Amino acid sequence: MTTAANCPFLPPGYDFTDPDVLVEGIPVEEFAQLRKTAPVWWNEQTDTIFDDGGYWVITRHADIKDISRNSGQWSTNRKGAVMRLPDGVTAEQLDLTKALLINHDAPEHTRLRKIVSRLFTPRAVAALEEKLAVASREIVAAAAAKSSGDFVADVAMNLPLQAIADLIGVPEADRERLFHWTNSIMNTDDPDFDSDPTTANAELMGYAYTMAEERRRCPADDIVTRLVQADIDGEAMEDVEFAFFVILLAVAGNETTRNAMTHGMNAFFDNPDQWELFKRERPDSAIDEIIRWATPVHCFQRTALEDVELGGVTIREGQRAGLFYSSANFDEDVFDRPFEFDILRNPNPHLAFGGNGAHYCIGANLARMEIKLIFDELAEQVPDIAKLAEPKRLRSGWINGVKELQVSYR
């Protein structure tokens, strides 16, 4: 077994989910070396909630797709999908997270995803476009009225939050609280965010639970009612299932799209020829290249349900495999010139939305729409936008995030 202790290009104790690694940027060189020399590599860990000695680092695009599609051999429920949990999390709290859709296995996952998919049909997403287009115009116009500012706060955070709030019917007065809760839940490893994630989880869950209760008592013509009321097959979400779904939606649908927009803008700053090309031609292919380049989720994990052979290695039943999307999306076997930001890249089979299996991101088309709307408005209203300082990265073990990006709007 190759470990950091005897791997020549990794120091002893190196961990691909260490927040101090990711705060410096995606470890692209280390991933490239592993893809060539040890694509399935054992990363020792001590003192984690999983208490299993470590996990397998999966770096190749093909292997990540294979695991993602094979739910017979791999579980998200057994140890959850998130690889790095906040310090101090108890086994009971880890168990609680298994109620999230992302941590379900079939058949429960299949049942819940069928209900939730009502939110994300092409028709449902298209119905949001007009309202979100107006919102995008207003968001960028407000930023353009300033000479400079923080792109994250001024632009990137606003539309994803509004889209989720519109989707589930959160009134304007409550949206600031929703933003605060999602930051508290996600950013547990970053010292700039000192809120208590347990409290935020409980408050957001209580808020969602009350929404579901009210719609059962007094149905309305909205999404919440459609989720908690039975469909023609008699399927509906329990109040507690709806509450956990709102947590997932608010966190996954908000934070990830925000980070994709910010990384995308920074990529255009670093590649001004691509920004000129985008302003001139607005190619549809730009959106997936922004998402590939950003890869907002660094990794998720699966747990082996039986011994599995992969890449010449035996992964034992009960061991974890880390699916490192931030490696797969730069795999030289799949992408021509992967380290070039190329908005004409086509095809672009990136895995930023997951590995195309049962857990493929259900909101992928909504995220694409939001990113397209924002960048179209940026190109129209602030074509000379420029970077004033390097982005401040989020300290996290699994989110490829940016806290701040200072820009000049004119």
Task: Please name the residue ranges forming H helices in 98-174.
Answer: 108-116, 122-144, 151, 158-168
DSSP element (H, E) containing 404:
strand 402-404
pLDDT band at 196 (very low <50, low <70, confident <90, very high): confident
pTM of the model: 0.93
pLDDT for residue 144: 96
Number of folded domains in the chain?
1
pLDDT for residue 51: 87
Asked if 266 contacts 386 with a C-beta cutoff of 8 angstroms, the reply is no
Q: For 4-45, what is each residue's pLDDT tens digit?
A: 445 667 888 899 999 999 999 999 999 999 999 999 999 999
More confident of the two residues 134 and 179: 134
Q: For 37-55, what is each residue's pLDDT tens digit?
A: 999 999 999 888 898 999 9
pLDDT for residue 187: 62
| Whole-number Å distance between alpha carbons of 158 and 150 | 12
| pLDDT above 60 (res 77) | yes
Burial class (CB in 10 A: 0-12, 13-18, 19+), 278: buried
- Pick the most confident of 165-179, 196-210, 231-245, 315-329: 315-329
Question: What would the 3-class secondary structure string for 57-97 be?
Answer: EECCHHHHHHHHHCCCCEECCCCCCCCCCCCCCCHHHHHHH
pLDDT band at 193 (very low <50, low <70, confident <90, very high): low
| pLDDT above 90 (res 242) | no
Q: For 345-398, what is each residue's pLDDT tens digit?
A: 999 999 999 988 888 999 999 999 999 999 999 999 999 999 999 999 999 898
The length of the chain, given as a count of residues:
410
- CATH number at 347 reads 1.10.630.10
| Whole-number Å distance between alpha carbons of 408 and 149 | 7
406 closest CA partner among 389, 393, 392, 394: 389
Task: State which residues form the domain around 141.
Answer: 4-408
**The pairing of beta strand 54-58 with beta strand 320-324:** parallel
| Whole-number Å distance between alpha carbons of 390 and 394 | 13
Helices (H) and strands (E) in the chain, counts: 16, 12
Chain CA centroid to CA 11, Å: 28
Q: For 276-320, what is each residue's pLDDT tens digit?
A: 999 999 999 999 999 999 999 999 999 999 999 999 999 999 999
How much of the chain exceeds pLDDT 70, in percent? 95
